[in-house]
Structures are given as structure tokens and as C-alpha cells.
């Protein structure tokens, strides 16, 4: 009887999955991964690899790789059901937890390596005794200092509970 409502919902989810995938691309995340994430975030129950393959019309290898990548990011959990050998996948739906997870992961993948580069470049330029050498060294130090600051902020925010973050936000925005 709810054929129409179901169709509408299907259409809405398809739209979300497609658009979220496109956004992912702009974000430097691969399209399929973003689509799977969107699909799982809006799924009423965990999905199997075959469900994902069927819904997005992608190959097994692609589905598998990206599902595991999402698991590695900590955005998706594996669920096993009694008497069923398949793995099912379930996305974290709490937006604050998603945010924290992404923030942690991006810090690890983007901020920490940057710090390494900056420290190294500061070190090898430390003793250059010309005005230009000093300027270069200073620039490295300023970048390093800032990235370190960003890193600490990220840690701090990532450690917040949802409620506290909202509280802080209220103060900051009010």
C-alpha cells in the first residue's frame, strides 16, 4: 500500500547518494566511497556487500575495497548475524561522532605529515647565515607553529563531548 511513499523515499535516497558522491569528489574523497557512506548512513539496517553492489551497480572488488576503507576510517562497523556467514556493514549515524572521526583521521593523514615536513625544513635551514636563509627559516617556523596550533585545537575539539561542543559553540556564536 505504501508503494508511493517507498518510491519517494527511494528517490530521495538516490538523490542523496548521488549528490554526496559528487561532493566527496570535490573533497578529495573517492566518489564510490562517499556514495557507500551516504547509502549506509541512510540505511534502516546494515547492508551486505551484495546489497551495496546491487544498489550502486558497482563491481564486487570496488564495493569490497571501499567498504573496508570506510571501516579503516572508523566510519563504518562490521556487523555479523547469527546463522549468517556474510558480513554486514553499518555506518555511524551520529553527526558529532562522524565529525570527530573524520577530524582525527584527517589530522593523522594531513596535519601530522605536514608537521614533519616543516620541522625537517626548519632544521636544515636553521644554520644558514644569510638574510634570505633567516627569512626562510622564519617562514618555516611560523608555519610549523601554526600547524602545531591547529593540531592541538583538533585534539581538543576531538576530545569534546557533543554537549560541551554545543555549549562552546553557543558562547562563540552568541
Partner DNA sequence: AATTGATTTCGGAAATTTCTGAAAGAACGA
Partner DNA sequence: TCGTTCTTTCAGAAATTTCCGAAATCAATT
Q: Interface with DNA by CB under 7 A: which residues?
A: 25, 30-33, 48-50, 57-62, 64-66, 68, 84-87
Of 5 and 82, the one with the shorter C-beta distance to a second copy is 5
- C-alpha 85/C-alpha 82 separation (Å) is 8
Closer residue to a second copy in complex, CB, 78/128? 128
* CA–CA gap between residue 18 and residue 156 (Å, rounded): 34
As beta bridge partners, residue 89 has: 47, 78
Q: Which does 86 bind (CB under 5 to 8 A by kind): DNA, a second copy, none?
A: DNA
Under 8 Å between Cβ of 108 and 81 = no
Q: Of 49-57, 60-68, 77-85, 141-149, which part binds a second copy (CB under 8 A)? A: 141-149
Interaction with a second copy in 81-140: which residues (CB under 8 A)? 93, 95-96, 99, 109-110, 113-114, 117, 120-121, 124-125, 127-130, 132-133, 135-136, 139-140
Which of 50/145 has CB closer to a second copy?
A: 145
CA distance 93 to 77: 11
Q: Give the H or E element holding residue 90.
A: strand 87-91
CA distance 100 to 104: 6
Element (H, E) at 121: helix 112-125
In the complex, minimum distance from the CB of residue 67 to DNA, in angstroms, rounded to a whole number? 8
Q: What is the tally of helices (H) and strands (E) in the chain?
A: 8, 3
Say if CB 64 and CB 57 are below 8 A apart.
Answer: no
Footprint on this chain of a second copy (rule: CB under 8 A):
2, 5-6, 8-9, 11-13, 15-16, 19-20, 23, 26-28, 41-42, 44, 93, 95-96, 99, 109-110, 113-114, 117, 120-121, 124-125, 127-130, 132-133, 135-136, 139-140, 142-143, 145-146, 149-150, 152-153, 156, 168-169, 172-173
Amino acid at each position: 500500500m505504501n508503494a508511493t511513499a517507498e518510491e519517494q523515499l527511494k528517490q530521495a535516497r538516490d538523490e542523496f547518494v548521488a549528490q554526496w558522491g559528487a561532493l566527496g569528489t570535490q573533497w578529495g574523497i573517492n566518489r564510490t566511497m562517499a556514495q557507500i557512506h551516504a547509502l549506509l548512513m541512510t540505511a534502516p539496517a546494515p547492508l551486505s556487500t551484495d546489497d551495496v553492489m546491487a544498489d550502486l551497480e558497482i563491481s564486487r572488488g570496488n564495493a569490497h575495497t571501499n567498504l573496508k576503507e570506510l571501516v579503516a576510517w572508523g566510519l563504518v562497523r562490521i556487523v555479523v548475524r547469527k546463522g549468517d556467514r556474510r558480513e554486514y556493514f553499518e555506518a555511524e549515524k551520529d553527526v558529532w561522532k562522524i565529525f570527530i572521526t573524520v577530524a582525527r583521521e584527517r589530522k593523522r593523514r594531513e596535519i601530522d605529515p605536514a608537521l614533519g615536513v616543516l620541522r625537517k625544513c626548519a632544521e636544515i635551514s636553521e644554520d644558514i647565515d644569510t638574510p634570505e636563509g633567516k627569512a626562510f627559516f622564519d617562514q618555516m617556523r611560523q608555519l610549523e607553529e601554526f600547524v602545531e596550533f591547529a593540531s592541538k585545537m583538533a585534539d581538543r575539539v576531538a576530545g569534546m563531548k557533543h554537549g560541551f561542543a554545543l555549549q562552546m559553540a553557543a558562547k562563540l556564536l552568541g
